[in-house]
Each structure stands twice: as structure tokens, then as C-alpha cells.
Amino acid sequence: MITLLAGFTGSGESLLNRSPWAENLPERVDRLIRTGRMAEAIIVMPDAFTRYGGSQYLNSSATGRYEDHLVREVVPWIDRRYRTIPEPRARAIAGKSSGGYGALVQAMRHPDVWGLVACHSGDMYFPYCYLPDFPKCLDVLAGHGGSVERFLRAWRRMPGRSESSLFPAINTIAMASCYSPNPRTRVGFDLPFDLRTGELRPAVWRRWLAWDPVQMVERYRRNLRRLRFVYLDCGTRDEYHLHYGARMVAARLRRLGVRCIFEEFPDGHANIQYRYDRSFELLSRAFARR
């Protein structure tokens, strides 16, 4: 069983989308099986989409308990319905981008559920992948009176909500709903900066950093050592600069004695579904190992 986590703004179902000249996920897996590169497997594609575009597969008072959903609902339900081997050694979790982040974090926190993990271009080193968006988010919010609520109301009325200039705002808000939820606020989460001056709020920013894999790895080293298989990769031209985070995580894993395959590839963040060819083949071999 391989649980495949979609990236930000995606969901399990979106992995079935057609795009020109490209396989969708079922076609890819069919080809890999047909050509003998991987054995047959149960592929689970959960839905953890939220009103802001994604949950990072964490529990949040702002959007829902997606970590629990995965571990307490999806996995047992699959085990009941399908012919699985209900043990960590037969359960892999994988994903790309926010899905890669989710996979790595799930594996760190639930080695009793997942025994194998493949993280492609996952969110890591938040000072490089998120912080540069903060002033851009502030600029977008300023266009709505500096109010998150007013911005969100306007955004929900937009016919195409995917305008690229708004992305830094949506992404920052979504991440705040995951990393710094706060039920005592009206929107349900704290932003990591002051809405007027833009200054970082150290206490909130520290809450975010506590969810940065670069910091988590040390804390979860014992769990990580229990994993059967850890795979990490990133493109060396990643537009969110995730290759730096990936190198930091890989270096720490090595230092902490966690076996890990770390690969870099000469590409960016988008259109890298072909990396599943690599991870699924390695996962398949790792499943087979005794």
C-alpha cells in the first residue's frame, strides 16, 4: 500500500486529471507495473483539501484534523476494505511538494503506521520557502484594508481564484491555518507578522518553525531510525528553493544515523511527476526486502 498525498491546492481526485502529453497517476502506475519496474500495489489517494487550499496533512483547529483523518480513519478503513498487509513494513507514504512535506512529517510522527516514506520536493526550511512571501502577502492584504477577512471575502467572490499575484497571500494564509491555528481569533489562525508594520511576530514564527522538517528531524530522530526506507529528492532549480531545505534535512539525517537515499535532479518544482517512477520503483524493492 502506497498512500500518495497531493500537493497544495490538489486532492486525491486531482491526481486523476488529464494533462496533455502526460500520464495521470493511474496510467503511470499501470505502466510501471506492466514494465516490471514495480510490483502491484494498493495506491491510496486521500483528500485533505481545505477552504484555503490544503492542510499540510496536520491537525488544525482552523480547518480540521487531517493528521488524525489519515492515521485513524483512512488507514484503518483501507485495511478493512482491501487486501492489505496491515503493518508498517507494508505501508509507504509518499508525495510531492506539500504532499512530500506531509509524507515526511507523517512518517516522523507515526512510525507505527508508516514504515516507508518518499518525499519529493517537500516544503522545508521555512525561512527560504515561506518567509519571502510574507511581504508580498502583506501587500495583497493592504489592498483590502489590511484585513484577512476582507481579503478572503473578496477572494471567494473571484471567478478564477488562481491569479498568480494572489498566490503569496493564499499560500501564507493556508500555512498559517496549518502551523499557527488559534481558535481565539476571528479568522481562526495567527499570521506570523504584524498586519500594520509587517514585523515578524517571533512567537508565531517559532510555532511555524517547530513544523519545519529541518528542525523536526532532530526531535523525531528515534522515530526516523525505525523507518524501513526513507527517500528524499529535490530539483536543483526548485523555484521555492526547496533544494536547500532538502540538503539540510539530508545532512541532519546522516548525522543522526538515519539511513536515507537523497537525490537531486536538474529540474524545477513543476512537471516532475516522472520522479514517481524513481520512488515507486525503490519503494517496491524496499517492500520486497526481508
> Where along the sequence are the contacts to its own copies (CB under 8 A)?
9-11, 13-14, 16-22, 49, 53, 125, 127-128, 131-132, 134-136, 138-139, 142, 159-163, 196-200, 214, 236-237, 241, 243-244, 247-248, 251, 267, 270-274
End-to-end CA distance of the chain: 16
Residue 245: CB minimum distance to its own copies, A: 8
The Cα-based distances of 120 to 69, 178, 185, 228, 279 in angstroms read 22, 20, 34, 18, 9
| Nearest to its own copies of 85, 251 (CB atom) | 251
| Nearest to its own copies of 1, 180 (CB atom) | 180
Residue 81: CB minimum distance to its own copies, A: 23
Residue 91: CB minimum distance to its own copies, A: 26
The helix, strand and coil proportions of the chain, stated in percent and rounded to the nearest 5, come to 45, 15, 40
Distance, CA of 15 to CA of 5 (rounded, Å): 9
What is the bridge-based pairing of β-strands 92-96 and 64-65?
Answer: unpaired
Residue 259: CB minimum distance to its own copies, A: 19
Q: Position of cell 524501513?
A: 228
| Nearest to its own copies of 116, 178 (CB atom) | 178
Distance, CA of 1 to CA of 230 (rounded, Å): 16
What is the bridge-based pairing of β-strands 116-120 and 64-65?
Answer: unpaired
| Nearest to its own copies of 104, 113 (CB atom) | 104
| Nearest to its own copies of 30, 139 (CB atom) | 139
Residue 194: CB minimum distance to its own copies, A: 9
